[in-house]
Amino acid sequence: ATPRRPLFFRWRILLKWFARKAALTSEIFERLTSAAKKRAFRIAGVDNARLIQAVRNQISAAVEKGTTWPDVRKRLTKLFSATGNEMPRLSHMRQVFITNTQMAYNDARREVLDEQASVFPYWQYLTVGNGTAGVNGVRPEHAALHGLIFRSDDPFWDAHYPPWGFNCRCTVVALTPGQVKGLEQPVRNVSYVRSKLGIQADPDFDRSGEPDLSKIDAELRRALEEMLDES
């Protein structure tokens, strides 16, 4: 069996990855390719690059220390006040915080689950509701996936591994072949989701493909250089 590495091992890797995300203004961000956008950090409505970087650092520290949103909110409020900038709506800042922390946690967890695929080759998709749209605020597309089982290597997960939308609170449970048999449910695939359920991916959260990171990094460097030239 594949040896299990503790979650904190991958957690550290994700923290370093998050800390290296390029802090860009919205104008620069929108000109990037989709692949490069996934490695960049921006705040809609904020054009001060140093401030964006400071916010990114605050979120990165919160991820590492497990800081809750109320504490982060206080720090961000002081940060914007000290720089003389107006902070975006608290609801928007909370969404920035939740989206980034959830993606860091779930991507780290997925790496661990991938290493355990020989023992748990199936994953079940679960929402915070019961499969009924609207329960606990679950949107229809996510509710339709509640309880469905897929192979861990099915392309479905590239586009729908949580979070695959803003404020997505869904999760994944790893299952053995015996557990799947006991549940007496069919194993679905990405074709079923697209053709039968009509659910498509959110391009902002699509993890499919193997992008050339060297090209992405070069693109981000050019964007940062351009931003510095304009400042």
Q: What is the pLDDT of residue 4?
A: 45
Rounded to two decimals, the pTM is: 0.71
Predicted confidence (pLDDT) per residue in 135-176, tens digit: 999 999 999 999 999 999 999 998 899 988 888 889 999 999
**DSSP annotation string for 168-221:** ---EEEEE-HHHHHHHT--EE-HHIIIIIS-----TTT---S---HHHHHHHHH
Give the least confident one: 2-6, 98-102, 173-177. 2-6
Is pLDDT larger for residue 77 or for residue 31?
77
Q: Please give the pLDDT value at position 152.
A: 96
Pick the more confident residue, 222 or 17. Answer: 222
Report the pLDDT value the prediction gives residue 1, as an integer from 0 to 100: 41
Is the pLDDT confidence value at 7 over 50? no
Span of 81-85, 91-95, 218-222 with lowest mean pLDDT: 218-222
Distance, CA of 120 to CA of 152 (rounded, Å): 8
